[in-house]
Amino acid sequence: MPGPAWNREYPRLVTDEQKPEAEAAPPESEDVSGVGFTYFVGRWIVAPLARMVYRPRIEGVRNVPRKGPIILASNHLSFIDSFVIPMFAPRPVYFLAKSSYFDGKGLKGWFSRQFFTAIGATPVQRGAGQAALDALDQQRRILQSGRAIALYPEGTRSLDGRLYKGRTGVAFLALETGAQVVPVGLIGTNEAMPVGAKWPKFSPRMVIRYGEPLDLAHLGPASSGRARRQATDEIMAAIHALSGQELAGAYNEAPAQNPVERLRQVLPHERR
């Protein structure tokens, strides 16, 4: 999550010992995710239909705790990954999606809003600065309510199938909230729906592998850059063991648009 606002606020977010009462963990009954009946209709109707059609092979499902805050940290190969994870997970899982998916008008807008709500998406304004901070806070609130979220440590999907280095945002949330991280290895989703495809194919079969939960608290507090980096590397090693992808050895970053961006990518800095 780049941007000047994030750089200013990040140290405060992870070092403030006195948090205002408004930031306290919400009770279990508070619907911080913004989803309700429509999501559960999707979970009990859409998900079973998807299982019949795509017949995914799911391994290690017992590694996913059924209660308490967890982060499903997955590799990212295809657009459909954000559908595959919540639909086939053994417990409700929420993830953030662009607010434009929920703001459309007419019949198309209604269908988009209902579909993304049904698969556990919650709207968020994407971008740097305040938008990035709002997304971080929304994810933290979902975890503090005892729920599960899905995130991609790589930041964006891999276009060449390799596994890229992880950014430290997932580790920060885990260390900040005490949530366990369940590594997820997705295999074949990029073949089921390649880049540019409008609809997923029915073959090959996708594979979803859940690894053992990672408790990262022993690495240190969220305010420690070293702890965040070590936690991130541990998460990515677990994902690699599950997915078997070739390691890229670099961050998955968009091409620099100007000399300042090129310099920033070259110089050492924490990828959030």
* CB distance 79 to 186 below 8 Å: no
What pLDDT score was predicted for residue 30?
41
Q: Of 55, 124, 113, which Cα lies nearest the Cα of 87? A: 55
**52-77 residues labelled b (16+ CB within 10 A) or e (exposed):** eebebeeebeeebeeeebbbbbbbbb
How many other C-beta atoms are found inside a 10 Å radius of the C-beta of residue 187? 21
- The span from the CA of 1 to the CA of 215, in Å, is 24
Under-50 pLDDT residues of the chain: 1-34
Length of the chain equals: 272
Give pLDDT tens digits for 69-117.
999 999 999 988 988 998 899 998 988 777 777 788 888 888 777 777 7
What pLDDT score was predicted for residue 263?
54
- The span from the CA of 147 to the CA of 213, in Å, is 15
Where along the chain do its domains lie? Answer: 57-90+128-266
What pLDDT score was predicted for residue 54?
83
- 107: tokens are 């019949």
What pLDDT score was predicted for residue 144?
92
